[in-house]
Amino acid sequence: MQLMETVILAIYLVGMTLMGIYFTKRAHSSESDYWTAGKKINTFVGAFALFAALASSSSLMGAVGSGVSLGIPFLFAYGFGAVAILPFTMFLVSGQIRRSGVSTLPEFFKQRYGNSVQIIAVAIVVVGMTFYMVPQLTASGLIGSYVLGIDYTTAVIVLGIGFTLYAALGGMWAITYTDLIQGALILVGMLVLSIIILTQHNGFASLIQEALTVTPTFGDITQPWMSYFGLFLAFLWFGIVSPSAVMRNFASRDARTARRSALGACLLYLIIFIFGFIIAAGGASLGIAETLDNQDMIFISVIETYMSPLLAGIMFAGLLAAIMSSADAMLLAISAGVARDIYKEYIKKDATEKQVTRLGFIIMVVASMIGILIAIEPPQLIAIMVGWVGGGLLSAFGFPLVLGIWWKRANTAGALAGMLGGGLTFLLLVITKPFALVSEPIIAAPVSLILVIVVSLMTPPPSEEMKNQVDRYHGDLINTKRKVS
Amino acid sequence: MNPKLKDPGIILLVVLVAVSAFVLIWWPTEIYLMGISLAGWLMFFTYFIWFALAVAYVLWIEKVEKEKESD
């Protein structure tokens, strides 16, 4: 057991739990508060919250590990997509979704395409986000077992239950405010680690040279082109198709705050990937990749090698924080899906806010139990599992959502065909593995696109009312242009 | 012209797609800078372009909103 690290982790987790309890009262005061923090979050807090929700265990542990074992260009491909997440989301959907007035992804599908599409969407969100808990739990289990000296399975169970209770108690208020701390911890921790590595290796150029001497393939493109392209696509679309990230956007006070938060989060992402580059180079110069059973442990080894126990403890807290906030946001998306979008919508329309919030709590616990069970025997590396979730959500939701906003002619039949066709094609490719790793969305997303367009054109167009609704998504902008011209 | 095509988001999206297409089509794996493949460096340099596009979008939309308010 690493004593100092354990003490710091314990202090951190207790602090976060107290914060959760403090915000519980606030969260349960109204349903809106619980789900979206009452839409009162400001730019600064919003930027860190968005960043921390998106910067999952994968963007840290997975990216650094893959940058060492598969060559640094693989890490660059992560950032290539990930830094573009927020601009891409802003360009295509965030303003329009905000103007539509809905607060979850399935709610948007209901407004635009009707009940059938909403129910399918909720099912995909629940399954996708539950699976997404697996890489988060795997990563926390690896850190926990290393620091506490307990076995991996126990670590997964204990940490899994810990952050589920915390998320379930506090809702979005607790998650958003602790995210401010978690985002800052990640950033400062990685900054300090990068400075230590650069100092020990006498600067950037000699660090790269040492990395290349120890790991000659460090600078190479080691995988097929399709893997880099697939990874880029899966990350690029993540902000649009990830139900948890979209919900973050609504927790801001107004459209201006939401945009500025996204801009801030984009900058934080850029900085984190530069640090990731330096840390991966530090890892490559150690020559440890071959000696580890699990490549996802590389980042942990780098931290232990370069940092003192005190700093390493803080850094592990930062990593665990990243995992925790991502997992919390996912749990919230799962419980919102079932409690709000299904239970209150179709099963018990007159349910009180308290009943809905309570059901949300139960769903969170159930979902995390399932996640824990799968994470005990994780099916793949963290980076690959996260790539699958992004790719799967993109294949199912990407085009029904974007065309729903930008193409009036898109209709319910087209959206259903695109969602089911894209999702099933993706699953088929994951199971049969005909192509390079994580390249599934390169095929499955275009299948979804074609299905939405062709099936929409073959079936009757949406009502005039619906077409006007699509105009309203772009409302302010189009009205302005018309006024000006 | 369809006003949607003049949306700042769509215009900047075209830039984003063009830059990514350039990187992925050229894909110079055999040229090395400091021992790292140029294809990798190109992906790295896009980080800064993506951020610049985000800044451009936020400023552009705020300008459009201001114009609207002054109308």
**Nearest Cα to Cα of residue A67 among A262, A232, A296:** A296
Is the CB of residue A251 less than 8 Å from the CB of residue A176?
A: yes
What is the structure's pLDDT at A382?
A: 80
Range B33-38 average pLDDT: 95
* B36 with A208: Cβ contact below 8 A: yes
Which phi-psi region, left, alpha or beta, contains residue A351 (left: φ > 0; alpha: ψ -120 to 50)?
Answer: beta
From CA A419, how far away is CA A398, in angstroms rounded? 8
Radius of gyration of chain A (CA): 22
Residues in chain A with CB shorter than 8 Å from the CB of B16 are 84, 87-88, 91
Is the CB of residue A276 less than 8 Å from the CB of residue A322?
A: no
CB nearest A87 (choices: B16, B32, B37): B16
What is the structure's pLDDT at A421?
A: 97
pLDDT confidence band for A274 (50 / 70 / 90): very high
- Residue that the structure tokens 């040492």 belong to: A210
The CA distance from A414 to the nearest CA of chain B, in Å, is 21
| Better pLDDT: A243 or A38 | A243
From CA A291, how far away is CA A265, in angstroms rounded? 36
The CA distance from A44 to the nearest CA of chain B, in Å, is 15
Which of helix, strand or coil describes residue A433?
coil
CB nearest A270 (choices: B20, B41, B47): B47
Q: In terms of DSSP H, where are the helices of A285-398?
A: 298-306, 309-335, 353-375, 382-393
Express each pLDDT in A366-404 by its tens digit.
Answer: 988 999 999 998 877 787 788 888 899 999 999 999 999
What is the structure's pLDDT at A120?
A: 93
What is the predicted ipTM? 0.94
Express each pLDDT in A332-352 by its tens digit.
Answer: 878 888 888 788 888 888 888
Four-CA torsion A83, A87, A93, A96, nearest 10 degrees: 140
Please give the structure tokens belonging to residue A57. 């265990």
Express each pLDDT in A3-26 by its tens digit.
Answer: 888 888 888 777 877 776 776 666
Range A18-35 average pLDDT: 61
User: Which DSSP symbol is given to A346?
Assistant: I
Which of helix, strand or coil describes residue A296?
helix
Residues in chain A with CB shorter than 8 Å from the CB of B37 are 71, 73, 219-221
CB nearest A478 (choices: B3, B20, B43): B3
Chain A CB within 8 Å of residue B65 CB: yes
What is the structure's pLDDT at A26?
A: 62
pLDDT confidence band for A36 (50 / 70 / 90): low
* B47 with A259: Cβ contact below 8 A: no
The CA distance from A361 to the nearest CA of chain B, in Å, is 36
Express each pLDDT in A188-198 by its tens digit.
Answer: 888 999 999 99
Q: What is the mean pLDDT of chain A?
A: 84
Residue A480 has pLDDT above 50, yes or no: no
What is the structure's pLDDT at A343?
A: 87
Residues near A349 by beta carbon (within 8 Å), at least 6 away in sequence: none
The CATH class given to the A3-374 domain equals mainly alpha
Q: Is the dihedral of CA A85, A184, A304, A214 positive or negative?
A: positive
Range B43-56 average pLDDT: 97
| Better pLDDT: A245 or B70 | B70
User: Which DSSP symbol is given to A460?
Assistant: P
Residue A249 has pLDDT above 70, yes or no: no
b/e sequence A283-321, b meaning 16+ C-beta within 10 Å:
bbbbebbeeeeebbbbbbbbbbbbbeeebbbbbbbbbbb
Domain ranges of chain A: 3-374
Residue A28 has pLDDT above 60, yes or no: no
Residues in chain A with CB shorter than 8 Å from the CB of B27 are 225
Express each pLDDT in A218-231 by its tens digit.
Answer: 999 999 999 899 98
Model confidence, pTM? 0.86
A270: nearest CA in chain B?
Answer: B47
pLDDT confidence band for A118 (50 / 70 / 90): very high
Residues near B63 by beta carbon (within 8 Å), at least 6 away in sequence: none
Percent of chain A's residues with pLDDT above 70: 87
Beta-strand ranges (E) seen in A175-257 are none
